[in-house]
Amino acid sequence: MKIAIGSDHAGFSLKVILKNYLEEKGIQVNDFGTFTEESVDYPDFAHPVAESVEKKEVDFGIIMCGTGNGINIAANKHKGIRAALCWNSDIAILSRQHNDANILTLPARFISKEEAIKCVESFIKTLFEGGRHYGRVKKISDF
């Protein structure tokens, strides 16, 4: 499995924790930055992660900023991207099952590292249910 990861300065420390966690599990992580806590603009990191997912260079993306909102909005500008802002594992599971989300977005200032890890685990292990959800997701893609 390959995962693209990115954050702004507010998500930097959580990104490092999650990257290390994933690599310890044997998952390849493509880190698109940022690489310090110096103030940066979240679109500069959302777009490369989204492009990597869009081009199918990776299986999933994980992005984070302070609230998760800005970086999520930026990622969702890309065709074929379904980034889901999740703050607990139940929402992460449902975002995969019902929405076929391909990018997990985390609110770095509002989630513990333990809960963030649970979200990541749930997100990457959960499959899209299809069925009645397929038509709904297709309506999003076809727009």
**pLDDT score recorded for residue 143:** 84
Whether this model's pTM surpasses 0.85: yes
Rg (CA), the chain: 14
Calculate the average pLDDT of the chain. Answer: 97
Q: Give the active site residues.
A: 65, 98
Mean pLDDT of 105-115: 98
**pLDDT score recorded for residue 80:** 95
Full 3-state SS string of the chain:
CEEEEEECHHHHHHHHHHHHHHHHCCCEEEECCCCCCCCCCCHHHHHHHHHHHHCCCCCEEEEEECCCHHHHHHHCCCCCCCEEECCCHHHHHHHHHHHCCCEEEEEHHHCCHHHHHHHHHHHHHCCCCCCHHHHHHHHHHHC
What pLDDT digit, counting tens, does each position of 13-57 carry?
Answer: 999 999 999 999 999 999 999 999 999 999 999 999 999 999 999
Give the domains, in start order, of the chain with CATH numbers.
2-142 (3.40.1400.10)
Mean pLDDT of 84-97: 98
